[in-house]
């Protein structure tokens, strides 16, 4: 048999913002498709109109665009297997539902929600299946004229899959191996509803995977319980030969390691669980996003790729291209992956270090300007070069670096108490004179001259440098003193020193 073309899909339902676990599912599908030179398809599963949330589809598209996960086909990308939005495929599903009905593999059921509720209260663990369907109101217990009459009367109904009992079902999962169950545990799932003339998730999912020639279904663990039903549906349609291979990814767990990661964990511990910021259209509640929190998309991709899979070895920093080469879906772990958000922060820091000073400066410059400072980009770059190894996010640079651009308005009380000694004003006055006499105000130009002077005077180097720092920075932080003074230049350095002497003495 000829090798099948690899075609995978990401099939989110637009029921809200894309959870970070969903992003990982999309990423693994992307890596798998690229690795095999296959197609990565975006299908929107919007047949449950009661759960539809406006803006969710746009959010999903924007998230994956931000992360650089490009689709080959699908909603907003086009392709030969469309439409790719399930709500636009009603007629297609109807044909397949009618086929199952005609072949006696599905039946019509009229039971109202109240009647079903009644049964559930009468029978413990009630399941609509081979054992119970004979006592329900459906096309198996009613005569054809009765059924036709009810439909003509406008009674709402559903179409249920007729699951034959006693049939072994095997799901071949690339991660979990063979999962075997007996068909008896599967209920007669609703495939279609007359009320909205729409299929349920199960039917639409199988029909579309078949028609879109999907070769591999890589999705979250929450869908594993549905997989045996899906296998039976493929059989019912006679599509077993082209049934996709399954890979059910493990859950993302809370940072503490127990239980499924939820939005509340993010709120509680202060980290995003969504790729982009999201405003709930009903409540206006805002949830933070990785993008708005200052993460680089490459860092998020790198972090997520290693949640539940790793290529072995020590290396942790991988580009998307490297991940495409190394990814192995069969090596994904079966057990849940702890969402270690501290590690996510670490990844962002690593990407700051790896990015050029130019790139970081381009991101930092608007923040500098936004604080009312008019400084050429070349100077912003110098500051970035000195300071970027100290931050995890670009936005952390400003509080750390503002003193380079704005002279201290106040002098930190604690530092003054500790570092501004009896003779500091006098010593700083002398130092200002020494600096005045230096022509080459670079680090290399200043350092030996100042060191020599400190030695000749018999001052304690630490005392001098601490007071010097206080005059230029206003507190005890910052990089090497001569880095600071060289950046500020002679004039500004001496101006700051004199001002500090005036105020502090």
Segment contacting ligand GLU by CB under 6 A, of 11-19, 142-150, 179-187, 425-433: 11-19
Note the Cα 217 to chain centre separation in Å: 20
For ligand GLU, the closer CB: 217 or 273: 217
Q: Is 427 left (phi over 0), alpha (psi -120 to 50) or beta?
A: alpha
For ligand GLU, the closer CB: 223 or 453: 223
Segment contacting ligand GLU by CB under 6 A, of 8-16, 112-120, 371-379, 447-455: 8-16
Consecutive H or E run containing 228:
helix 227-237
Residue 289 CB, nearest approach to ligand GLU (Å): 19
List % helix, strand, coil for the chain (3-state, nearest 5).
Answer: 50, 10, 40
Report the residue from 52, 66, 126, 223 that binds ligand GLU according to the rule CB under 6 A: 223
For residue 458, give the DSSP letter.
T
Residue 286 CB, nearest approach to ligand GLU (Å): 23
Residue 222 CB, nearest approach to ligand GLU (Å): 7
Tell me the C-alpha distance between 127 and 132, whole Å. Answer: 7
| Coil vs helix vs strand at 483 | helix
Report the residue from 13, 215, 293, 471 that binds ligand GLU according to the rule CB under 6 A: 13
Helix axes 227-237, 90-102, angle to 10 degrees: 70
Report the residue from 34, 219, 248, 496 that binds ligand GLU according to the rule CB under 6 A: 219
**CB 37, CB 5: distance < 8 Å:** no
For ligand GLU, the closer CB: 219 or 254: 219
Tell me the C-alpha distance between 211 and 434, whole Å. Answer: 81
- Contact status: 215 vs ligand GLU (CB under 6 A): no
**CB 194, CB 86: distance < 8 Å:** no
x/- mask, ligand GLU, residues 389-408, rule CB under 6 A, reads --------------------
Report the residue from 45, 188, 221, 350 that binds ligand GLU according to the rule CB under 6 A: 45
Place of tokens 């975006």: 42
Residue 12 CB, nearest approach to ligand GLU (Å): 5
Q: Is 263 a catalytic residue?
A: yes
Residue 267 CB, nearest approach to ligand GLU (Å): 23
- Contact status: 415 vs ligand GLU (CB under 6 A): no
Query: Residue 402 class from Cβ within 10 Å (0-12 exposed, 13-18 middle, 19+ buried)?
Result: middle
DSSP lists the bridge partners of residue 178 as 172
Tell me the C-alpha distance between 190 and 203, whole Å. Answer: 9
- Contact status: 89 vs ligand GLU (CB under 6 A): no
Q: Which residues, other chains included, contact 290 with Cβ-Cβ below 8 Å and sequence gap of 6+? A: 20, 272, 274, 275, 276, 300, 344
Report the residue from 7, 8, 11, 24 that binds ligand GLU according to the rule CB under 6 A: 11
For ligand GLU, the closer CB: 201 or 295: 201
Q: Work out whether strand 198-199 and strand 190-193 pair parallel, antiparallel, or are unpaired.
A: antiparallel
Residue 132 CB, nearest approach to ligand GLU (Å): 27
Cis status, amide bond into 338, omega within 30 of 0: no
Q: Residue ranges of the alpha helices (H) in 327-423?
A: 341-354, 357-370, 377-387, 397-405, 413-419
- Contact status: 261 vs ligand GLU (CB under 6 A): no
Residues between 148 and 207 with contacts to ligand GLU, criterion CB under 6 A:
205
For ligand GLU, the closer CB: 227 or 352: 227
For residue 90, give the DSSP letter.
H
Place of tokens 């199988």: 206
For ligand GLU, the closer CB: 219 or 496: 219
Segment contacting ligand GLU by CB under 6 A, of 99-107, 217-225, 306-314, 458-466: 217-225
Segment contacting ligand GLU by CB under 6 A, of 215-223, 234-242, 328-336, 349-357: 215-223
For residue 259, give the DSSP letter.
S
For ligand GLU, the closer CB: 12 or 38: 12
- Of residues 94, 260, 263, 343, which has the active-site annotation? 263
- Contact status: 249 vs ligand GLU (CB under 6 A): no
Residues forming contacts to ligand GLU in the complex (CB under 6 A) are 11-13, 45, 205, 217, 219, 223
| Residues assigned a catalytic role | 263
């Amino acid at each position: 048999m000829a090798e099948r073309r690899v075609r995978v899909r990401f099939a989110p339902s637009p029921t809200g913002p894309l959870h970070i676990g969903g992003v990982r599912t999309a990423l693994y599908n992307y890596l798998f498709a690229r690795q095999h030179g296959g197609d990565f398809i975006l299908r929107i599963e919007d047949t449950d109109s009661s759960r539809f949330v406006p803006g969710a589809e746009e959010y999903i598209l924007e998230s994956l665009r931000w992360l650089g996960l490009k689709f080959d086909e699908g909603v907003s990308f086009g392709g030969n297997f469309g439409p790719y939005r399930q709500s636009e495929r009603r007629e297609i599903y109807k044909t397949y539902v009618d086929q199952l009905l005609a072949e006696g593999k599905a039946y019509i059921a009229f039971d109202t929600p109240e009647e079903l509720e009644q049964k559930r209260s009468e029978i413990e663990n009630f399941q609509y299946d081979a054992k119970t369907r004979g006592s329900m109101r459906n096309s198996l217990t009613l005569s054809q004229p009765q059924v036709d009459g009810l439909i003509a009367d406008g009674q709402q109904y559903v179409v249920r899959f007729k699951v034959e009992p006693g049939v072994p079902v095997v799901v071949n999962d690339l991660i979990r191996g063979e999962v075997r169950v007996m068909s008896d545990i599967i209920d007669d799932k609703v495939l279609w509803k007359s009320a909205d003339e729409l299929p349920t998730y199960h039917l639409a999912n199988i029909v579309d995977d078949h028609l879109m020639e999907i070769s591999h279904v890589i999705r979250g663990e929450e869908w594993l319980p549905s997989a045996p039903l899906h296998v039976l549906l493929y059989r019912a349609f006679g599509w077993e030969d082209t049934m996709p291979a399954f890979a059910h990814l493990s859950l993302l767990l809370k940072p503490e390691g127990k239980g499924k990661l939820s939005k509340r964990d993010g709120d509680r511990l202060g980290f995003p669980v969504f790729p982009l910021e999201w405003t709930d259209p009903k409540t206006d509640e805002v949830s933070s996003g990785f993008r708005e929190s200052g993460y680089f998309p490459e860092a998020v991709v790198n972090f997520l790729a290693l949640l539940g899979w790793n290529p072995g070895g020590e290396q942790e920093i991988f580009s998307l291209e490297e991940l495409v080469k190394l990814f192995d879906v069969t090596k994904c772990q079966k057990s849940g992956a702890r969402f270690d958000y501290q590690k996510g922060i670490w990844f962002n820091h690593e990407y700051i270090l790896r990015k050029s000073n130019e790139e970081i400066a381009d991101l930092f410059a608007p923040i500098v300007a936004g604080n009312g400072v008019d400084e050429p980009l070349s100077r912003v770059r110098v500051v970035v070069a000195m300071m970027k190894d100290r931050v995890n996010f670009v936005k952390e640079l400003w509080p750390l670096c503002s003193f380079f651009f704005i002279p201290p308005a106040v002098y930190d009380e604690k530092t003054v108490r500790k570092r501004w000694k009896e003779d500091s004003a006098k010593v700083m006055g002398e130092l200002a004179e020494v600096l005045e006499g230096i022509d080459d105000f670079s680090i290399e130009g200043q350092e030996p001259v100042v060191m020599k002077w400190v030695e000749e005077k018999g001052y304690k180097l630490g005392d001098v440098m601490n007071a010097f720092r206080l005059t230029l920075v206003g507190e005890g932080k910052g990089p090497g003193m001569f880095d600071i003074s060289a950046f500020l230049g002679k004039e500004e350095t001496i101006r700051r020193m004199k001002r500090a002497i005036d105020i502090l003495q």
